[in-house]
Structure 1
Amino acid sequence: MEFKDLKDIFDFYKKYAYAIGFPIKKRNLKKGDDGELRYVTFTCSREGQRIGNSSGSFKLQPTIQMGCKARISASSDVHGVWRINKVHLDHNHETSPSKSRLYRCNRELSSHVKHKLEVNDLAGIPLHKSFNSTVVEAGGYDNLSCIEKDCRNYVEKVKRLRLGEGNAIAIQAYFAKMQTQCSRFYFSMDLDDESRLQNVFWADNRCRQAYKKFGDVVTFDTTYLTNKYNMPFAPFVGINHYGQSTLLGCGLLSSEDIDNFVWLFRTWL
């Protein structure tokens, strides 16, 4: 089977997996000698084996990984046409079409549900009541493409993005003031599609000079949380010649997802 791009293959396999009743994931993406993406493998999410702690000193967490071999592999030619060249359909576990909508790869919030959740949150309506209202409107749980956890995660992310109009303006004004006082002060503010403040990065001249001298080893940690919005604080830290920590730059993230980390690291570079 041939496809015009990678997305078409993924959507095809995802639709098949939905009908059979198993979750999928991207397993391997490889580039050719020309630097272009040429090889890809999509597998059942229960592929692989998680290596546990043999000492037993910690309680092992449950896992869905059980070595399932179901997968498809594909490659593209010089014209960008993708062709499936390997297929394995058998699973070593039961599949369930009735549970397909609950798998993470299939769950999503419609624009209507997102808007309703935001409005209800601003009105002070508890999340569980908003979700129950969405269930009733959809005609039951089976007609929803999301679960309550997805709604809660979305509302929490929106709260971080909202960040208070006054706070976002205050941050920008403060950074602009710092830049007039120190020409080497650098900052960048990342906005989402609705022009809401999403991520922030800044580094003053002291941080930038410290990196030149102590940038051999840089640590990065987002385990810190700050203010009522619980936005992860992301400091870049180095070690000076006294063995002490020295700040090399700072960031605030709306959430710890791939896109935000990519933005932060590129801005840092």
Structure 2
Amino acid sequence: MSDPGALNSEEGVLVNVAPLFAKKSETEPKVGMKFKSENEVFEFYKKYAYHVGFPVRKRTSQKNNEGVVTYVAFTCSREGRKSSNTSTKLKPQPTSQTGCKARLSACSDTAGVWSITGVHLEHNHQTSPSKSRVFRCYRQLDVHVKRQLEVNDIAGIHLHKSYNSVVVEAGGYEKMTFIEKDCRNYIDKVRKLRLGEGDAAAIQAYFSKMQSFSPGFFFSFDLDDEGRLKNVFWADNRCRQAYKEFGDVVTFDTTYLTNKYDMPFAPFVGVNHHGHSTLLGCGLLSNEDTETFVWLFRIWLECMEFEAPQGIITDQDRAIQNAIEVVFPKSKHRWCLWHILKKLPEKFGYHCQKASILSSVHKLVYESQSADEFEHGWFSMLDMYELKNNDWLIGLFRERSRWVPCFLKTSFWAGMSTTQRSEGMNAFFDGWSLVLLDLIWRGNFKVLLQL
């Protein structure tokens, strides 16, 4: 029986792939074995490693002058030693790396045939074939399981129950090729914008249609590696023109429609000369991390001809704050006062003097005329109610210049101190905007193209 995926070195012809893990001797790497591609080398080594019981990874590669990979090395995942970030040896960082020397190297010739050039099979740690299935490099979700998880998630079935159902169907945990964490990661990836292959093209066709009607219509897509739509931004010409007149201060919030559509809808909102809310662009997001907000803010800034607002009001979300520091470093960033005060009953519901604390904070916030007056009153309040060690209050005081009115009164805020204009956009959006969101959420892209 021949080695899996190998070329017969004497005859120079391809042979059939052998049954998986028939015998160790038949899957053991040897110098001189030949393969059709780098990927076949890696898959062969993975099969051997699975049989022996250790995880593998690609360690290094080299390219020729044309940029084509001609050399690779694969190692046991426990190769190397992770340096500790701690200053004491009494609490070393936990690591699975043991400096294992097991590895396989291969290179290709001018005809593109790959040959194993070096093999080291000994490990300095125990291997365990029974645990191979739980090593990350071998875990995978098949199409059937992915579809079942998605359907159950849409139906509102808890992921733990979905996973247990798959375990029963497979015949037990020992027959599973993945763990519950893999299922959770997959659902987190596809949960927000449930758009599969081809859906992004359908929405792009719709937005292109809108653009043909209105040349000032702007849109942008953010796709993942599999071509799935991660994030969307769009703004019509009215939004772009309104920003030129009323873009000094912008509020940004992601809570609008989140509960109804199970995805963050992120409108940029300003206030016009009549004191009315005006939309300045909006996005649909698949995630609420720093990377996503940086993408959204940069696209919005590009749409608005790279004119950053003087001020921007958001909630206390750390990811949003990080993104603002990256994209709008010169803009004044203010926290939504309403969001902060709304948390007071939750934070001090346990305290016997809850009502007095809430009253004191409101009085300090709204009646303090200077920074010194606020700070003096704040420390007096902490002493009176014995709250000096309250972490939440410590954090608020440290960032007082972002939310206390007396620290912000020297800047122009267009009469706004909260993001409630963003949250109150329900009456502002016309029927067509809601139709668009509903169709995107339900995946009715054929209907979109007919609008």
- 1:239-261 CA-partner distances (Å, limit 9, x unpaired): x9xxx86559xxxxxxxxxxxxx
Change (3 A) 1:245 1:114: closer
RMSD: 3.9
Change (3 A) 1:198 1:54: closer
Change (3 A) 1:77 1:234: farther
For 2:55 and 2:188, how far apart are their aligned partners in 1? 26
**Could you say which residue in structure 2 is the equivalent of 1:253?**
none
For 1:94 and 1:69, how far apart are their aligned partners in 2? 13
Q: Residue type matched to 2:160 in 1?
A: H
Give the CA deviation at 1:158: 1.5
**Could you say which residue in structure 2 is the equivalent of 1:35?**
67
**Could you say which residue in structure 2 is the equivalent of 1:188?**
221
**Could you say which residue in structure 2 is the equivalent of 1:143?**
175
Identity %: 53
Give the CA deviation at 1:55: 1.4
Give the CA deviation at 1:198: 2.9
Give the CA deviation at 1:123: 1.2
**Could you say which residue in structure 2 is the equivalent of 1:121?**
153
Change (3 A) 1:52 1:125: same
Change (3 A) 1:175 1:72: farther
Q: Residue type matched to 1:190 in 2?
A: L
Q: Secondary structure at the match of 2:101?
A: coil
List runs of 5+ in structure 2 lacking aligned partners: 1-32, 236-252, 264-286, 302-306, 308-324, 330-451
- 1:213-248 CA-partner distances (Å, limit 9, x unpaired): xxxxxxxxxxxx96654343242679x9xxx86559
Asked whether the equivalents of residues 49 and 66 of structure 1 are also in contact (C-alpha less than 8 Å), the reply is yes
For 1:235 and 1:136, how far apart are their aligned partners in 2? 42
1:18-167 matched pairs, under 5 angstroms:
18-56=50-88, 60-162=92-194
Give the CA deviation at 1:35: 2.3
Asked whether the equivalents of residues 219 and 232 of structure 2 are also in contact (C-alpha less than 8 Å), the reply is no
Change (3 A) 1:202 1:63: farther
Change (3 A) 1:150 1:98: same
Larger strand fraction of residues: 1
Give the CA deviation at 1:173: 4.8
Say how many residue pairs are matched: 219
For 1:87 and 1:201, how far apart are their aligned partners in 2? 51
**Could you say which residue in structure 2 is the equivalent of 1:11?**
43
Give the CA deviation at 1:142: 0.6
**Could you say which residue in structure 2 is the equivalent of 1:235?**
294
For 2:233 and 2:49, how far apart are their aligned partners in 1? 40
For 1:123 and 1:245, how far apart are their aligned partners in 2? 39
Comparing 91-100 and 31-40, the one that deviates more: 31-40
For 1:176 and 1:57, how far apart are their aligned partners in 2? 62
Q: Residue type matched to 1:50 in 2?
A: K
Q: Residue type matched to 2:132 in 1?
A: S
For 2:90 and 2:231, how far apart are their aligned partners in 1? 35
Q: Rg bigger for which structure?
A: 2
For 2:194 and 2:36, how far apart are their aligned partners in 1? 39
Q: Residue type matched to 2:56 in 1?
A: I
Give the CA deviation at 1:58: 11
Change (3 A) 1:76 1:191: closer
Q: Secondary structure at the match of 1:160?
A: coil
Give the CA deviation at 1:27: 0.3
- 1:151-208 CA-partner distances (Å, limit 9, x unpaired): 1111111103317x9xx969x759956x94648x562353786x852344789xxxxx
Normalised to the residue count of structure 1, the TM-score between the two structures is 0.69
Asked whether the equivalents of residues 74 and 83 of structure 1 are also in contact (C-alpha less than 8 Å), the reply is yes
Asked whether the equivalents of residues 22 and 95 of structure 1 are also in contact (C-alpha less than 8 Å), the reply is yes
Q: Which has the higher contact order (CA 8 A, sep 6+)?
A: 1
Change (3 A) 1:2 1:192: closer
Asked whether the equivalents of residues 235 and 247 of structure 1 are also in contact (C-alpha less than 8 Å), the reply is no
